[in-house]
Amino acid sequence: MRMLAVLANVFLLQLSGAAVAQEDPYKSAVDSWLNGSEAVGLQGLSEAASQGNTSAQMILGQIDRDTVPGGFSDYLINHQARDQLLRAPDPDKGTVNWLLALSNPALQKHGEAIFGYRVGRQPISNAIALQTHGEIEGAEYVLWNTLNNGRFDLINSMPSENYGLSEAGFLKWIEAYMARENKAITMRAFVEESNPKRVSGLLGLKRLARLLNLNQHFSDEANQFTTVMLGRGSDLPESVDLVRLNESISRISETDKYLNIVKRYCDSCEGETVDYDCVVQALEIIGGYKTLMSIRTPVEGSIDQATFMNSNRSVEIFAQLVNNMRRHYSRGIRSSCIAANLKAKI
């Protein structure tokens, strides 16, 4: 009996070792995509997906599905090669998005929720579906975008059973603001706040400001900050204090994961002099904080949100965004850092 127990333990160890060995290529592929070679990482994920790894399938499906992060990659520019790398083979269509061909049938609704949120005509239903399946950041983005498209009626008619969607960070910030007696918004107080969703909350409030007669409560510095976040840096007055504005952005980026991406991009050029135009013009080129918010984890259940946002890949995606959207930007480049990055891409 003792010998049988020993043999059983050896057998179990071999099985567990085989499982680790099977998982390692997937983990290596994720690590490479996040902080190493995009080509190597995506190739590894493609191989793992073909072998039935549903996490790899979901990551590739979302990269293929979203403009960001997949569509702005210099590496994914050949459409035929892109399809073969990111999509599942299909006998009738040639290839199909992995989110619609997941190996695990139990994940079908999850895949459909991630795949369908952009094309659906019912954004609140799409957001609730994402929320239900644990795609919290994606759900909040859809909700925020709905508000900023002026669909206040849809936000107001959100059903009571929304699986916590009404607790979205930017909505809680707006709710707290509306409840307080002092409505004044100064940059000094705003910088000191710890709420990581305060920028998206402020921009949501700005969208409501005319309707609720709130513009009078924004200080000049708060208006300048929102101007930058809206991607309208060229509209800043000549009298703007760029040094102070950048100090505020830098402080906020300590708790705001999106602004932290821009700061890391601009810090890569940091030398003896500080480029105060970098953050302002970078956001101007890509279209503001709204576009910045679209840089997020491909699938939250497969790659942790914080891990993705703190990775090199998020900064590289932002750099690719600036590089590609520069083609549609008519103004001259004021930032020496952006100019250097654009030159390096040529």
CB 284 within 8 A of CB 234: yes
Identify the residue whose tokens are 């703007």: 240
For the chain, how far is it from start to end, CA to CA, in angstroms?
A: 70
CA angle (57, 60, 62) in 5-degree steps: 105
Banded pLDDT at 117 (limits 50, 70, 90):
confident
d(CA 97, CA 58): 9
Does the pLDDT at position 251 exceed 50? yes
d(CA 340, CA 144): 34
Q: What is the DSSP letter of 233?
A: G
What's the pLDDT at 84? 92
Task: Output the DSSP codes for 147-195.
Answer: HHTT-HHHHHT--S-STTGGG-HHHHHHHHHHHSS---B-HHHHHH---
Mean pLDDT of the 120-146 span: 93
What's the pLDDT at 77? 82
Mean pLDDT of the 55-77 span: 85
Mean pLDDT of the 277-305 span: 95
Tell me how crowded residue 200 is: count the other CB atoms within 10 A of its CB.
28
Mean pLDDT of the 133-151 span: 94
Banded pLDDT at 139 (limits 50, 70, 90):
very high
CB 32 within 8 A of CB 40: yes
Mean pLDDT taken over the chain? 90
Banded pLDDT at 75 (limits 50, 70, 90):
confident
Banded pLDDT at 269 (limits 50, 70, 90):
confident
pLDDT digits (tens, 9 = 90+) for 1-53: 444 444 444 434 443 444 444 458 999 999 999 999 999 999 999 999 999 99
Mean pLDDT of the 184-203 span: 97
Banded pLDDT at 79 (limits 50, 70, 90):
confident
What's the pLDDT at 120? 63
Written as six digits, the tokens of 316 are 């590289």
Mean pLDDT of the 310-329 span: 94
What's the pLDDT at 152? 94
Query: How large a percentage of the chain has pLDDT more than 70?
Result: 91
Bridge partners of 143?
A: none
Bridge partners of 94?
A: 90
What's the pLDDT at 250? 97
Does the pLDDT at position 222 exceed 50? yes
Domain segments of the chain: what residues?
15-105
Residues 6+ away with beta carbon under 8 Å from 261: 292, 295, 309, 314, 315, 318
Written as six digits, the tokens of 181 are 């007696």
Nearest Cα residue to 279 out of 264, 296, 293: 264
d(CA 174, CA 198): 9
Write a three-state SS string for 197-222: CHHHHHHHHHHHHHHHCCHHHECHHH
Banded pLDDT at 69 (limits 50, 70, 90):
low
Ramachandran angles phi, psi of 37, nearest 5°? -85, 125
Bridge partners of 125?
A: none
Does the pLDDT at position 236 exceed 90? yes
What's the pLDDT at 11? 39
More confident of the two residues 254 and 273: 254
What's the pLDDT at 216? 96
Does the pLDDT at position 100 exceed 80? yes
Written as six digits, the tokens of 42 are 């995506």
What's the pLDDT at 319? 94
pTM for the model stands at 0.89
pLDDT digits (tens, 9 = 90+) for 325-345: 999 999 999 999 999 999 877
